[in-house]
Amino acid sequence: MEESSPIALRRVAPDTEGLLAFAPVPGFGVLAVNAYLIRAAQPVLVDTGLIALREPFMERLREAIPLSDLAWLYLTHVDPDHIGSIAQVLAEAPNARVITTYVGMAKMNLHGLPIDRVYLLNPGQRIDVGDRQLLAVRPPTFDAPETTAAYDTKTGNLFSADCYGALLGEPAPAAEDVPAEALREGLRTWTTVDAPWLPMVDGVKFAASLDTFRRLEPKVVLSAHLPPATGMMDALSEYLTATLSAPAFVGPDQAAPERAMAAGGQQ
């Protein structure tokens, strides 16, 4: 694969490779958009990235695994940044079945996903993938009702969906490489974007929800929107809890692009 690919393919944790990309977010930096391949006895792809990166994503995936070997596609949720290559994956991986919830299936059905390729898994339930189980867990923050995180019972890796994402100033290979203050700020901003309902949440109930994650004691947190994070569960959870008191995110309004256009026109 040529070096110029916008998607990095590399081992990020035991039995797990990442298909790692960064999307520019004008005015805020960059956001990781990651998918993962679990080398289980029955291989599992977790999410399928951005539609804009469909071709390089499929190139990287074919490089990683013969697609006829892919047994499962675990959809954390069906937002566009998680289902970008789903049609290609399902076409090229005829043995793969999609793990999602009823709501995820209903939404994907609108995109033509055949029901006979779906396996319904609710939070708290497990699916056996040969040499381990994947436990579905509802993450403490999410932006779509069908969202489940997945915990790998063999490795202790946690695929946390949108939870623990962070807007970063620049791409980084691992979350440990990001200065703590930048990571705290970036996680706070992303979380207020992704979970605007947080200010309405009771702190005690939020802590209980977060405890569901913490009790798993994941060794590596593999968020869709954070570089892989090893041994950082406590720090990430502390940053996440701090977002409860963060001000609500208000995006730039129409004046911002008009200012930018006016400034551009004066040059």
Shortest approach of Fe ion to residue 134 CB, angstroms?
19
CB contact at 8 A, 120 and 101: yes
Could you say whether residue 79 binds Fe ion (CB under 5 A)?
yes
Which of the stretches 54-62, 103-111, 155-163, 226-234 binds Fe ion when contact is defined by CB under 5 A? Answer: 155-163
Could you say whether residue 146 binds Fe ion (CB under 5 A)?
no
Q: Which residues 6+ apart lie within 8 Å of 63 measured at CB?
A: 1, 9
Which of the stretches 6-14, 123-131, 157-165, 173-181 binds Fe ion when contact is defined by CB under 5 A? Answer: 157-165
Task: Pick the binder of Fe ion from 47, 146, 152, 162 (CB under 5 A).
Answer: 162
- DSSP-derived pairing of the beta strands 149-152 and 126-128: unpaired
Shortest approach of Fe ion to residue 130 CB, angstroms?
28
Q: Which residues 6+ apart lie within 8 Å of 124 measured at CB?
A: 135, 136, 137
Output 137 or 224, the one with its CB closest to Fe ion.
224
Compute the CA torsion angle 173, 177, 181, 182 (nearest 10 deg).
-30
Output 81 or 152, the one with its CB closest to Fe ion.
81
Please give the Cα distance from 8 to 19 (Å, whole number). 6
Q: Which residues 6+ apart lie within 8 Å of 114 measured at CB?
A: none
Shortest approach of Fe ion to residue 165 CB, angstroms?
7
CB contact at 8 A, 220 and 13: yes
Could you say whether residue 143 binds Fe ion (CB under 5 A)?
yes
Shortest approach of Fe ion to residue 194 CB, angstroms?
6
Q: From the CB of residue 64, how many other CB atoms can be counted at a distance below 10 Å?
A: 18
Largest CA distance in the chain: 63
149's enclosing H/E stretch is: strand 149-152
Shortest approach of Fe ion to residue 147 CB, angstroms?
7
Output 144 or 182, the one with its CB closest to Fe ion.
144
Which letter does DSSP use for residue 266 in this model?
T
**Per-residue contact track with Fe ion, 30 to 69, x per CB under 5 A?**
----------------------------------------
Give, as ranges, the residues between 96 and 135 that touch Fe ion (CB under 5 A): none
Number of amino acids touching Fe ion (CB under 5 A): 5
Shortest approach of Fe ion to residue 224 CB, angstroms?
5
Give, as ranges, the residues between 220 and 249 that touch Fe ion (CB under 5 A): 224
Footprint of Fe ion (CB under 5 A): 79, 81, 143, 162, 224
